[in-house]
Every structure is written in C-alpha cells, then in structure tokens.
Amino acid sequence: MNDQTVIWTVGINCPAEDEDKFNIWYDEVHVPMLLQGDCVRKVTRFKLAEETYHVGTTTQPCPTYLTIYEFDNQAKFEAWMNSPARTEAGEDKTKTWGDKIYDVQWATRYNLTNAWNG
C-alpha cells in the first residue's frame, strides 16, 4: 500500500443566511469530530478570495469553502473513510442541517506525486 501523503479535498457552498452558523458548526463541531482517532494528520480550511484570476481561456465557478484533510498514507485515509468518527460526523451533519444541508460541490482524494520546498 502507498506510503505517500494523501489528501481529501472538499468544496462547499452554504446559503449566505446560514454562513455564520455553518462556520461555527464546521470549525467547532464537525472538524473536531472528524479528527477523532489517529487517522487525520491535519485539516486546513480556506475561503474563496474576492479576486478572480484567469488561467487559460476559461474560469470555472468555484465553491466558497475548501477544506483539505491530510493523511500520512493510503491506509490512514481508508481507516478514516470507514471510521465510527466519520459516521458520527455525518449523522450530526444531518441532525444539525436537516434538509437544509449545505452544498458539497465535490469531494475527492489526491495522492502525492511530488513536493517542493521554497
């Protein structure tokens, strides 16, 4: 099994009227639940910048929030994907947001191919 770093990226939108509530819940409840156990090395969240930068000929719409979950290797990632902590966090998401669940535009895994330090 691969011993290289793995990241899980999640692109999220939420209704503007719920943004403050969403951020408090995500930062203080959801992420701490997902950090239970020893699977996740690091979680980093970003908010889309006001500026738009064009690369190439087209610019795709992007989600407002990006969360990056970092894992030491594929085994840690697989353990996390099947963990009770992840199941519990999903159940809490449904309980907290009901049918007004925020919009996960995409979530996907990336495997490390190379890394540079400046």
| DSSP per position, 71-108 | ESSHHHHHHHHT-HHHHHHHHHHHHHHGGG--EEEEEE
State both tokens at 53: 């930068």
In a domain? residue 33: yes
- Distance in angstroms (rounded) separating the CA atoms of residues 58 and 46: 22
Residue 25 lies in a domain: yes
Is 93 domain-assigned? yes
Q: Is residue 98 part of a domain?
A: yes
- Range of the structural domain that residue 31 is part of: 12-50+72-103
Q: What is the number of structural domains in the chain?
A: 1
Look up residue 32 and give its two tokens. Answer: 């701490």
Enter the pTM of the model.
0.89
Contact 47, 64 (CB under 8 A): yes
Instruction: Name 16's Cβ contacts closer than 8 Å, sequence gap at least 6.
Output: none
Question: Does residue 31 form part of some domain?
Answer: yes
Walking along the chain (118 residues) 10 residues at a time, the average pLDDT comes out as 88 90 95 95 93 73 93 96 95 87 88 90
pLDDT score at 50: 79
